[in-house]
Amino acid sequence: MQIKVPFLDLWLQHLPLMSEFNQAIQEVIESAAFAGGRFVTAFEEDFAAYCNVPHAIGVGSGTEALWLSLLACGVGSGDEVITVPSTFMATAEAITHCGARPVFVDVDEQTYTMNPDALKYALTAKTKAIIPVHLFGQPADMDPILEFGSKHGLYVIEDACQAHGAEYKGKRVGTLGDTACFSFYPGKNLGAFGEAGAIVTGSTELQEKIRVLRDHGQVRKYFHSVVGWNCRMDGIQGAVLRIKLRQLEVNNQCRREHAGHYAADLQEVEGLTLPTEADYARHVYHIYAIRVNNRDEFMKSLMDEGIMTGIHYPVPVHLQEAYQSLGYERGAFPIAERCAAEFVSLPMYPELTYLQVEQVIQGVKEAVAGTVEV
């Protein structure tokens, strides 16, 4: 009998916690603390402690976290921010919505994160900040990035939207840059019941600016020191996330065990490039992306066996239609472009069973064998 393997199954994650969720949501309803309030504050305190930072600020999404971090760092019209094209669109969107220009550098072919050696070629007099992306749960190589930022007076904002609990040289992501930004989109390692995000920082000055900006620029009710926006986290999301945060370390360890199982059984398969864990990193495998040729045929073969897959991300940001005005041509960032053409994301979530992982491994082996070019 064929075992079905969904790409993601949030129901399995939520089912054992349902009574806690129901009670927490009932408490929010009874208190009417729907926008910000004590449930968000409690989550902020717990998440700051988890990340080993003094401050966490709950916001409406990871995109808002990036945008508000940039605004708090003074990024605005005429500025440039260096980031990578191998990321979700939100990283660049946040830069654009500050009035600044995204400037891209290529990624490292082993880690798929920012290549620090490329930063010097992107630096101009207009550069104000750097956003390294901890892609798929793997931290970027932060020491040389931070050193470059310090040398040139640049802010460093970690895009940790896919890296809840990941570590760089024994330090949690979020403790490294001036700020770090997290998304709690439902499928993330720590996911909300809708949209939510957070910014963490060690800077009292930045956290004060961000708290004002996320609440219409209010220093206190109806007194607005700056033009802000409504970026508050919902009370229900704060209550749900606080419950799910308690499971995060166990769930991350399950992801790492699944990744180890994939790696042990697939490392000798020709025609397959597996993700690597950098020597400096604790990878938390939000996404387990392999690289293959003949991607469409490979994915169809797996689907025929009841195994669902995904692609993260098929078009690098510099080649998106929305960013044609930046003037980048195909070939500008060959590693990012090659990866975008080859990535296939395998099922990766804590509740995968041993038999499901085995089914994926067998399906991958058969798919590679069936799509190898003669």
Look at residue 332 and tell me whether its pLDDT is greater than 70: yes
Q: pTM to 2 decimals? A: 0.97
Among left, alpha and beta (phi > 0; psi -120 to 50; other), residue 148 is: alpha
Predicted pLDDT at 374: 37
CATH architecture of 10-104+112-245: 3-Layer(aba) Sandwich (3.40)
Look at residue 75 and tell me whether its pLDDT is greater than 80: yes
Look at residue 167 and tell me whether its pLDDT is greater than 60: yes
Which string of b and e fits 246-284 if b means at least 16 CB within 10 Å?
Answer: eebeebbebbbebbebbeebbeebeebbebebbebbbbb
Helix (H) or strand (E) holding 48: helix 38-51
| Measured distance CA(155)–CA(363) in Å, rounded | 45
Look at residue 71 and tell me whether its pLDDT is greater than 50: yes
Beta strands in 144-283 (DSSP E): 155-159, 167-168, 171-172, 179-183, 197-201, 218-220, 223-224, 272-273, 281-282
Helix (H) or strand (E) holding 254: helix 248-266
Domain ranges of the chain: 10-104+112-245, 248-371
Look at residue 68 and tell me whether its pLDDT is greater than 70: yes
Is it true that the peptide bond before 313 is cis, omega within 30 degrees of 0?
A: yes
Query: Tens of pLDDT along 216-237?
Result: 999 999 999 999 999 999 999 9
Taking the domain 248-371, which CATH number applies?
3.90.1150.10
Q: What is the DSSP letter of 107?
A: B
**Taking Cα atoms as reference points, which of 154, 181, 174, 149 lies closest to residue 73?**
154
| Measured distance CA(264)–CA(279) in Å, rounded | 18
Among left, alpha and beta (phi > 0; psi -120 to 50; other), residue 327 is: left
Look at residue 154 and tell me whether its pLDDT is greater than 80: yes
